[in-house]
Structures are given as structure tokens and as C-alpha cells.
Amino acid sequence: MRLFKRVMQWLLGVLFVAAGANHFLNAKFYISIMPPYLPWHEALVYLSGACEIALGALLLIPRFTTSATWGLIALLIAVFPANIHMALHPDLYPGLSAWMLWLRLPLQGVLITWAYWFTRGKRQSIISPQGTETRN
């Protein structure tokens, strides 16, 4: 199970690094899908891309895994209202199908749950004063 969890951690980290890099490589696309109620579209696209790259990379460094995980969860929650806006206003995003916009909503929950898994540290055995072993 530890190997599987480590592979999934790397997969999530690489996914976020790649997604963040895509914000820089295809900035025009991300700017075009920004909800109109948000200011500074270009700056927010670059900021969110930089956060995804940094947090995805930090997820892979054991010392920073938990902090990076909470950062990714916060980022996913922060962008969720924009995803809701896109799903409710598919006419504003003609290049994207409405079903894809709706599919993004539960996908956010999957990503949050996936990330949350890495806040759970390794279980440690503790020897009680009576000499019995318990799992923490």
C-alpha cells in the first residue's frame, strides 16, 4: 500500500506541475475562461499557475508534503466558484462543451480527496507502558 500511495503522490504532484506549466504555455486560454467578476485575469492565471507548479513540486518533498497538500486543497477550493460560474454560463465558453464544464465540479472533489490522503501521515507503532503495541 505504501508503494501505491507514493506512486499516487508523484502522479498528483506531476499533474499539478504540468497543469501549472500549462497556465504559462497557454495563458490566453486560461484568461479566456476567467469569470468576468474576477479582476486581473492575466495576473491571476500566472499566479495560479505558479502556485500549482510550486505546490505540486513541494508535494514530492517529504518535509513539505503536508503543507503542500493543504495549499493544493486551498487552491482547489479557491478556484471552485469559477468552475461553478463556467458550468452555469456555458454560453460564455463556446469552445468547451457544457457536459465537460459540469464534469469539472465533481472532479474538484476527487482532486481534493486525493490530495487530502497525503495529509494522513504514516501510522506509527507505539509501545505502551504495559508493553503492548498500539497503532497511532
Among 25-29, 53-57, 71-75, the least confident range? 25-29
Contact 135, 123 (CB under 8 A): yes
- Total tally of structural domains belonging to the chain: 1
90 located within any domain: yes
* Residue 65 identity: T
Residue 126 lies in a domain: no
Is 136 a member of any domain?
no
Residue 64 belongs to a domain: yes
Range of the domain at 109: 2-119
- Tell me whether residue 69 is in a domain: yes
CA dist., res. 65 & res. 13, Å (int): 10
pLDDT at 58 over 90: yes
| pLDDT tens readout for residues 79-110 | 998 899 989 999 988 888 999 999 999 999 99
Q: Would you place residue 136 in the very low, low, confident or very high pLDDT band (cuts 50, 70, 90)?
A: very low
In three state form, how does the secondary structure of the chain look? CHHHHHHHHHHHHHHHHHHHHHHHHCHHHHHHCCCCCCCCHHHHHHHHHHHHHHHHHHCCCHHHHHHHHHHHHHHHHHHHHHHHHHHHCHHHCCCCCHHHHHHHHHHHHHHHHHHHHHHCCCCCEEECCCCCEEEC
The rounded mean pLDDT for the chain is 88
61: confidence class by pLDDT, cuts 50, 70, 90: very high
pLDDT at 121: 66
CB 31 within 8 A of CB 45: yes
Give the mean model confidence (pLDDT) for residues 62-76: 95
Does residue 112 fall inside a structural domain?
A: yes
Do 116 and 131 form a contact (C-beta atoms < 8 A)?
Answer: no
